Amino acid sequence: MPELPEVEITRRGLAAHLTGLSIKDVVIRNGSLRWPIPKNLPTLLRGCTIVSLKRRAKYLLMDCGSGTLILHLGMSGSLRILPYVMSAAPARGTPKVGNPLSRKPDAELTPPVGTPSGCENLCEAPLLRSDPPAGKHDHFDLILSNGTLVRLRDPRRFGAVLWHSGDPATHPLLASLGPEPLEKDFDANYLYLVTRGRSVSIKQCIMDNHIVVGVGNIYANESLFRAGIRPQLAAGKLSLPRCTKLVAEIRATLAEAINLGGSTLRDFVNTSGQPGYFQQTYWVYGRAGEPCRRCGAPIKQIKQGQRSSFYCGKCQK
């Protein structure tokens, strides 16, 4: 699952390319993601200029002036920037095509969602072709004014493409989120105060988006190892000095992951289609039974909240 570093890498790659461009059109091939893609999204977005692209937790927030496009990569999603070309319109009477990007035959007479304005009759409409063509898991495209498009690929369809016309911070998915781990609101004093009296494990605590956002399973495991803290330690037993150490290691781990392009364990690629390399530096994640890189003791694996935790019994207390 893409975690904060992967989403931040995606944001940086997109922001440098998209800011100031206008949206020519929208293609929705499969709107059945975690939440349905709004059917009126093409109408809302056509002609909008992309003002900025920000991140909140694992959500990407695209400011389109009249509202915000909220994007989430889910468990297997990625966003790519690809070129497209307009082909000449086929002559009248030629067989109709369904998806204007994939050019796959389709017997339906109704144009696909996202067909450019004025292209209701596909026999007379110019066709959009991308390189590579849209595949089975390519569910959503933003067609841009500079000859490129942004494509959401999401094999498991747990991602999201939503629209919010007001302040994005008031959206139900964002309103109750905790502080960003790389910003000043998340510090040792904050972590110490929110963990007092809590019997839940420290790992589950730092993975709670109401306490701090974006620290997923991979980076929670790695941060706890670096801080020398066992994942099953009750959060309320963490001293202020250990909170100071943990906050510092969470920040350092996330920053290092961003610098190395994130983690690619299965599906994640950046906006250019390149994988990340942080997985090559893991201390404990996914290394059950292997020797600890510090002390040589075997890495242990347990289950916490249906997620795997990895730790060294000697280095972490």
Residue 64: what pLDDT? Answer: 97
Residue 55: what pLDDT? Answer: 97
Mean local confidence (pLDDT), 103-131: 42
Which token pair is 146? Answer: 């500079």
Work out the end-to-end distance of the chain between its first and last CA atoms, rounded to an integer number of angstroms.
Answer: 28
Task: Give which of 231, 143, 142, 244 is closest to 190, Cα–Cα.
Answer: 244
List the catalytic residue out of 29, 55, 58, 230: 58
Letter for the amino acid at 224? L
138-144 and 127-130 strand pairing? unpaired
Contact 255, 281 (CB under 8 A): no
Question: What's the number of domains the chain is made of?
Answer: 2
Residues 225 and 120 in one domain: no
The answer for 300, left when phi > 0, alpha when psi is -120 to 50, beta otherwise, is: beta
pLDDT above 60 for 100: no
The answer for 127, left when phi > 0, alpha when psi is -120 to 50, beta otherwise, is: beta
Residue 177 lies in a domain: no
Residue 180 lies in a domain: no
Mean local confidence (pLDDT), 24-49: 95
The distance of Cα 251 from the centroid of its chain, to the nearest Å, equals 19
Residues 80 and 140 in one domain: yes
Residue 208: count other Cβ atoms within 10 Å of its Cβ. 16
List the catalytic residue out of 12, 96, 157, 307: 307
Residue 178: count other Cβ atoms within 10 Å of its Cβ. 19
pLDDT above 60 for 134: yes
Residue 229 lies in a domain: yes
pLDDT (tens digit per residue) in 283-311: 999 999 999 999 999 999 999 988 999 99
Three-state secondary-structure class, residue 261: coil
Letter for the amino acid at 139? H
Residues 8 and 126 in one domain: yes
pLDDT above 60 for 1: yes
Residue 53: what pLDDT? Answer: 97
List the catalytic residue out of 2, 42, 179, 231: 2
Mark whether 3 is an active-site residue. Answer: yes
Residue 61: what pLDDT? Answer: 98
Mean local confidence (pLDDT), 33-38: 95
Contact 127, 114 (CB under 8 A): no
Residues 58 and 200 in one domain: no
DSSP string, 264-291: -SSS---TTSPPP-GGGG-SSTT-TTSB
- Please state which of the ranges 71-80, 100-109, 143-152, 182-191 shows the lowest mean pLDDT: 100-109
Residues 121 and 248 in one domain: no
Q: Which of 141, 170, 199 corresponds to the end of one domain? A: 170
List the catalytic residue out of 3, 6, 8, 222: 3
Residues 144 and 26 in one domain: yes
Residue 312: count other Cβ atoms within 10 Å of its Cβ. 22
Residues 198 and 127 in one domain: no
Residue 3: what pLDDT? Answer: 87
Residues 144 and 200 in one domain: no
The distance of Cα 256 from the centroid of its chain, to the nearest Å, equals 18
Mean confidence (pLDDT) of the chain: 85
Residue 270: what pLDDT? Answer: 55
pLDDT (tens digit per residue) in 244-290: 999 999 999 999 999 887 775 555 555 666 655 567 789 999 999 99
Instruction: Give the highest mean pLDDT range of 95-99, 122-126, 178-182.
Output: 178-182
Q: Which of 118, 141, 170 corresponds to the end of one domain? A: 170
pLDDT above 50 for 101: no
Helices (H), the chain: 4-18, 41-45, 188-195, 202-206, 217-227, 240-259
- Percent of the chain residues topping a pLDDT of 70: 81
Mark whether 58 is an active-site residue. Answer: yes
Residue 264: what pLDDT? Answer: 58
Residue 133: what pLDDT? Answer: 84
Reported as a pLDDT band with limits 50, 70 and 90, residue 118 is very low
Residue 173: count other Cβ atoms within 10 Å of its Cβ. 17
Three-state secondary-structure class, residue 112: coil
> Which CATH number is 198's domain given?
1.10.8.50
Reported as a pLDDT band with limits 50, 70 and 90, residue 188 is very high
Residue 45 lies in a domain: yes
Residue 130: what pLDDT? Answer: 76
> Which CATH number is 151's domain given?
3.20.190.10
Residue 76 lies in a domain: yes
Task: Give which of 286, 304, 259 is closest to 5, Cα–Cα.
Answer: 259
Residue 252: count other Cβ atoms within 10 Å of its Cβ. 14
Mark whether 237 is an active-site residue. Answer: no
Residue 178 lies in a domain: no
Give me the numbers of helices (H) and strands (E) for the chain, helices first please: 6, 11
Cα 291 from Cα 158, distance rounded (Å): 35
Mean local confidence (pLDDT), 58-64: 97
Residue 129: count other Cβ atoms within 10 Å of its Cβ. 16
- Percent of the chain residues topping a pLDDT of 90: 71
Residues 232 and 288 in one domain: yes
Helices (H), 22-103: 41-45
Residue ranges making up the domain that contains 118: 4-170
Residue 87: what pLDDT? Answer: 60
Residue 35 lies in a domain: yes
Residue 288 lies in a domain: yes
Residues 116 and 204 in one domain: no
Residues 16 and 146 in one domain: yes
Residue 88: what pLDDT? Answer: 52
Q: Cα–Cα distances in Å, from 167 out to 35, 62, 69, 71, 170? A: 20, 12, 11, 15, 6
pLDDT above 80 for 217: yes
Write down the pTM of the prediction: 0.82
Contact 10, 60 (CB under 8 A): yes
Residues 144 and 232 in one domain: no
